[in-house]
Amino acid sequence: MKKSIVLLFLCLFSVSFYAQTKKFKVVLDAGHGGKDYGATYHGNIEKKISLNTVLKVGEILAKESNIEVVYTRKTDVFIELNERANIANRSKGHLFVSMHCNANDNQEASGNETYVMGVTRNAANLEVAKKENAVVTLESDYKIKYDGFDPKSPESVMGISIMQEENIQQSIDIAGKVQQAFTKFTTSKNRGVKQAGFLVLRKIIMPRVLIEMGFVSNKPEGAFLNSEDGQNKLAEAISKAILGYRDDFFKTETATTVKKEESKKATVKKEDPKKVDPKKVDPKQSSENKTAVEGVTFKIQISASAKNLETVPKNFKGLNNISVEKGTTIYKYFYGSTSSYTKAKQLLEEAKAKGYTSSFIVPIKNGKKIKLSEAIK
Ligand SMILES: [Zn+2]
């Protein structure tokens, strides 16, 4: 009797554990809180706007199955920056999204922008990071806790170590999606994806972005940020971006694994392409042809950077056949180009072996990036 209860318990535990591991976990961080009001202009208070909008994003995401939302705060409380990172890391989230409002003495300044961690010398970016980082002065012993950090010094902002450079590509991707969605859901000015050193992002070991949803210092934009309608629109946009990110980087991974398992069961003849040793394959039945996808080119994105590098092997750990895509602020670098998904997976392994551990396959059709799940249908 006892044994069967234990067994039942174990079964239930493993089922729920299995279900849990399948969930996409997003950590939502409402900037500031409690004694830290953030930027305050014309009665628009950053800590309130960020919390209200975070809760709205969480509400929208909660309607989706298989998403778990983790909050760094759900009420008006003060939380230290390091603790925000601890909450995110402890939860083993897949994505960290910090939401803030911008402010500037020039009250004409307006628009939204999304930041990823990075070294910048751009004065405007440094200024935004400096303002957001200054909240640590409300914490005791902040210089010890943040390794001698001085919020007033630009060198200090530039020097914030980038601990998880390997997540930079995914971070840039979600940042791009947020900015795209803002353009779709609001009429606010799109200021683009930017890089700077943010203390709150510093220790987070997952793809991470900090969104400046708009300027509270700009009268009309501040009113929009402070309004129910404005917050609904912003939340709609940010949720859309998060779901798009989930579809690109999380769902496809799970879907292809399941598909592989199913096809393995269904047919013995169809070999799992992953298991085929390319050197041992008879050229006549090369998997190249079998896995070629019409009209789709696969490239391996190996890195993204603010630096414009010459596409020569010495700049890319000896890899040749490097191409570059120039964005407004970021250069994306790709290794190889093939119409075969099997070949693409080989190229991916080669890139990873060279040390580009966060590389991933990018399918392109008619010059546009498409979802991996669509490409290998
Ligand atoms: Zn802020």
Domains of the chain by residue range: 19-244, 271-375
pLDDT for 304 equals: 75
The CA distance from 113 to 176, in Å, is 10
User: Would you say 109 and 215 are in contact if contact means Cβ atoms under 8 Å apart?
Assistant: yes
pLDDT for 329 equals: 58
CA of 242 to the centre of ligand 1 (A): 20
19-244 CATH choice from 3.40.630.40, 3.30.590.10, 3.30.1360.70, 1.10.3720.10: 3.40.630.40
CA of 328 to the centre of ligand 1 (A): 24
pLDDT at 275 over 80: no
CA of 113 to the centre of ligand 1 (A): 13
CA of 262 to the centre of ligand 1 (A): 47
CA of 306 to the centre of ligand 1 (A): 24
Return the SS3 of 338. Answer: strand
CA of 115 to the centre of ligand 1 (A): 12
Q: H helices then E strands: how many in the chain?
A: 14, 13
pLDDT at 377 over 90: no
CA of 147 to the centre of ligand 1 (A): 21
The bridge status of strand 190-196 relative to strand 322-326 is: unpaired
CA of 103 to the centre of ligand 1 (A): 9
CA of 100 to the centre of ligand 1 (A): 4
Q: What percent of the chain has pLDDT over 70?
A: 79
First to last CA, the chain: 49
Residue-wise pLDDT for 91-128, tens only, equals: 999 999 999 999 999 999 999 999 998 777 788 888 89
pLDDT at 82 over 80: yes
Instruction: Compute the mean pLDDT over every residue in the chain, rounded to the nearest whole number.
Output: 82
The CA distance from 10 to 6, in Å, is 6
The CA distance from 314 to 238, in Å, is 39
CA of 62 to the centre of ligand 1 (A): 25
pLDDT for 187 equals: 96
CA of 188 to the centre of ligand 1 (A): 18
CA of 38 to the centre of ligand 1 (A): 5
Q: CATH assignment of 271-375?
A: 3.30.70.1070
pLDDT at 198 over 60: yes
The CA distance from 5 to 63, in Å, is 34
Q: Dig out the tokens for 97 from the structure.
A: 């999204």
User: Would you say 301 and 333 are in contact if contact means Cβ atoms under 8 Å apart?
Assistant: yes
